[in-house]
A = this chain, B = another copy of it.
Amino acid sequence: MSSWLDAIKWGADGLVPVIAQEVDGRVVMFAFMSRESLALTAEKGEAVYFSRSRNRLWHKGEESGHVQRVKAIRTDCDKDVVLLTIEQVGGIACHTGRHSCFYNELNGDEWQAVEPVLKDPKAIYPKATN
């Protein structure tokens, strides 16, 4: 396997945290990658995360079509975090149908949703049962 993958300091669970940022600077998502998913991400040029809840590889957009085209892969000074520069196909990264997952902003002592729902999640995930 490539040495650039060895340079990453994988967590005890074999994962590394990943920040996905659009080319225009907007941070849209935070998730995790395994060694295999990071290798696939670099190979395909599309973000492949590791879903901790489903305990499997998660090719972002596999169901919704909202794939993330990877333009650059960076890591930090400690090499224990990855920052992806991406183009978010469909303009929706969040499962709630919003552009970004980071739509709750602290206003005084309350979290307020400051981004609109662009598409009904039921229309994004027609096969979902919940």
Contacts and interface: CB of A to CB of B under 8 A. Distances in A.
Nearest to A76: B101
A77 interface: yes
Nearest to A5: B109
B83 A27 contact: yes
A79 B104 contact: yes
Copies of this chain, count = 2
A126 interface: no
A102 interface: yes
A64 interface: no
A95 interface: yes
A24 interface: yes
Interface residues of A, number: 37
B30 A106 contact: no
A62 interface: no
Interface string A106-124: 1001110000000000000
A27 B102 CA distance: 14
A72 B105 contact: yes
A31 to B, nearest CB: 9
Interface of A: 2-4, 7, 17, 19, 21, 24-27, 29-30, 42, 72-79, 81, 83, 94-96, 98, 101-106, 109-111
